[in-house]
Chain A
Amino acid sequence: MSATTSTPPIIGLDGVRKTYRTGSLEFEALRGIDTAIREGEYVAVVGPSGSGKSTLMNILGCLDNPTAGSYLLAGEDVSTMSEAQLAEVRNRRIGFVFQQFNLLAGLPAWRNVELPLVYAGLPRQERRERAVAALERVGLADRTAHRPGELSGGQQQRVAVARALVAEPAIILADEPTGNLDSRSTADVLDLLDGLHDAGRTIVLITHEHDVAGRASRNLVIDDGRIVSDTPTARAGVPA
């Protein structure tokens, strides 16, 4: 941990709670999460199904608001931001990789990848160049014009990774990115995440699989809405 203690936390959670209301039923999915993630860390969040991992991820990604507690993203309090400001934060600082890929079926790969740049307001030509470059980085240089339906699951997830990295965000959030992939494609995606980690990105990855969690530098175990363990892995010492 000595290598990272000097850098300030990019993510700071303090007493974060999330209560879901379904009609008159209330369910507390997060029951007080306190943690800090520093820039360049590679954190795997593990825990049983229903423990609140995705809920935590949505809050980290500014897709959902905590019911209580504070979330500082790069020192800024997210709870005071408007929808438009949150949209900008997501656009500039965060790249998402979803289990379901979430690609737009009607658009070719490169146009899926350029989407964050569209909302960042970049000119078309630059967007295209950067989208193609991002697809090259994930090994899909020859698939830029393919639509998602014309790509394998592993290729689709690589397109999603390209989309997550194209705007060079500081944080990559991945919710079970390998959940729908075979071992070969899983390895591809994890290698890409490793590469991003090596390039200094902060990565938060949700997973069920132990060997996947083992690729991270730190493991957060969640159960029943609480952090039950927080340990560096064997790879923690590997310099970023």
Chain B
Amino acid sequence: MTWVETLRAGAEAVRAHRMRSLLTMLGIVIGIASVILTVGFGQGAQQQVRDEIDALGSNLLIVSPGSSTDSGGMRGGFGSATTLTLEDAAAIGDDTAAPDVRRVAPTTSSSASLTAGETNWTTSLVGTTPSWPDVRARSLASGRFFTADEVASGAPVVVLGPDTASELLGLGSPVGQTVTIAGQRLTVIGVLDSSGASESGGSEDDQAILPISTAQALTGATSSSVSTIYVEAASQATLSAAYQEVQSLLATRHGVTTTDADFGISTQESLVETANSTNRTLTVLLTGIAAISLLVGGVGVMNIMLVSVTERIREIGLRKALGATPRVIGRQFLVEASMLGLAGGVVGLLVGVVGSWVLPPLIDQPVTLSALAVGAALLTSLALGVGFGVYPASRAARLTPIDALRSE
């Protein structure tokens, strides 16, 4: 019996018990679909983090107050402690103390309600210095950024993110208009370009940037503490040198050692790493669960194949009487199990692909399908069918013709 015939016979048997085949496949369908989706979510989330962090700027060091420098640089007292000051930022900006630092942008951040006419919009308020657009690699869509003089004088000016501008001021030109923050009237002097971070542009494109002195006056802050100091290294090559310089400079200034520092420095790499490692744990966990459901699906295939062997025992006996060798019989059941597995994989893949279109807008999470995941899913489903088909197939192959024929 040729392979083509065996395949045809297998397909026939699968079709002959359509409902049962579908139910058998269901376990594998669910397993494959969930593997595809969880891996897709994991990769989508990683891509999202990547974009978000790339959008921060390039060759960037992020100095935040609070816990010591570790890979968890994003946790701890990010923005909450008050150990960093404007003077720290000025020191880092000094060319002799930190020669590998190109630019520094200290920032304060808070949340505030902006009013323009009848419209209210709550967004994050960022107080900073004129170097911010360069350090954060942001450009202006219209108008201009504020100057050092305006920072020195605490001028009532503000630069809006594109989303903030359109929410607050509609479609007209925002530059020259007035917005009110905490009773203080500020003139809009510029609007930022979109950050370009595809999925996560939201927060980067919705903020109000103003001179750090103006921001402090608005929020009633008296100290010169800042929530984050963005430091741009001269180049990718000098990023780690700049890191060392900033670290030792701040340690000296704060009178602490680098091991029990009251500030943290993150690089983009470390941020990506941190975000990805939490992500990865979740993905591994979910994929593990999906893999277990695949295993259960495989056991389902085995179960049904055993039922099928028992049910068709007379058929097997007859085929053997007519000249089917044990190998031919075994192969037929193995092919049948493999077809169930593969068919389950294909259907599961379709469900996964459809899910990757339908789900992201609903749950606001991107899903990235990779060819690797698709290929692996198909191979896995085939392997499951073959793997769990071996035992039922060998049971069928070993039946003696007379016992099989005689059974009722």
Binding site for B on A (CB under 8 A): 58, 61, 63-64, 83-84, 87-88, 90-92, 96, 98, 102, 104, 106, 115-116, 118-121, 124, 163
Cross-chain contact of B325 among A61, A87, A115, A124 (Cβ < 8 A)? A87
Contacts of A163 in B (CB 8 A): 322
Interface of B is mostly: helix
Contacts of B324 in A (CB 8 A): 87, 119
Contacts of B400 in A (CB 8 A): 64
Residue of A whose beta carbon sits closest to that of B328: A119
Residue of B whose beta carbon sits closest to that of A54: B406
Interface size on B, residues (CB 8 A): 21
For the complex formed, measure the closest distance between the CB of B253 and the CB atoms of chain A, giving whole angstroms: 86
Report if A102-B405 is in contact (Cβ < 8 Å); known contacts: A84-B327, A119-B323.
yes
Report if A87-B326 is in contact (Cβ < 8 Å); known contacts: A63-B401, A63-B405, A106-B16.
yes
Report if A61-B323 is in contact (Cβ < 8 Å); known contacts: A102-B405, A106-B16, A118-B1.
no
Report if A119-B319 is in contact (Cβ < 8 Å); known contacts: A64-B402, A87-B326, A102-B314.
yes
Contact B323 A88 (CB under 8 A): yes
Not counting A64-B402, A96-B322, a sample of 5 additional A-B residue pairs whose C-beta atoms are within 8 angstroms of each other reads: A61-B321, A63-B321, A88-B325, A96-B321, A102-B318
Residue of B whose beta carbon sits closest to that of A92: B323
Top-8 shortest CB links A-B:
A91-B323, A119-B323, A64-B402, A87-B325, A84-B325, A63-B402, A63-B401, A116-B322
Could you name 13 residue pairs across A and B whose Cβ atoms are closer than 8 Å?
A58-B402, A63-B405, A64-B402, A88-B323, A90-B401, A92-B323, A98-B405, A102-B318, A118-B1, A119-B1, A119-B328, A121-B1, A121-B2
Report if A104-B318 is in contact (Cβ < 8 Å); known contacts: A58-B402, A63-B401.
yes
Cross-chain contact of A118 among B5, B16, B401 (Cβ < 8 A)? B5
For the complex formed, measure the closest distance between the CB of B48 and the CB atoms of chain A, giving whole angstroms: 53
Report if A115-B319 is in contact (Cβ < 8 Å); known contacts: A63-B402, A102-B314, A121-B1.
yes
Residue of A whose beta carbon sits closest to that of B324: A119
For the complex formed, measure the closest distance between the CB of A169 and the CB atoms of chain B, giving whole angstroms: 10
CA gap between A88 and B324 in the complex, in Å: 8
Report if A83-B402 is in contact (Cβ < 8 Å); known contacts: A104-B318, A121-B1.
no
Contacts of B315 in A (CB 8 A): 104
Contacts of A91 in B (CB 8 A): 322-323
B320 within 8 A of A: yes
For the complex formed, measure the closest distance between the CB of A99 and the CB atoms of chain B, giving whole angstroms: 11
CA gap between A61 and B322 in the complex, in Å: 10
Residue of A whose beta carbon sits closest to that of B5: A118
CA gap between A109 and B282 in the complex, in Å: 57
CA gap between A87 and B315 in the complex, in Å: 15
For the complex formed, measure the closest distance between the CB of A45 and the CB atoms of chain B, giving whole angstroms: 17
Q: Type the 1/0 row for B313-356, where 1 means its CB is closer than 8 Å to any CB of A.
A: 01100111111111110000000000000000000000000000
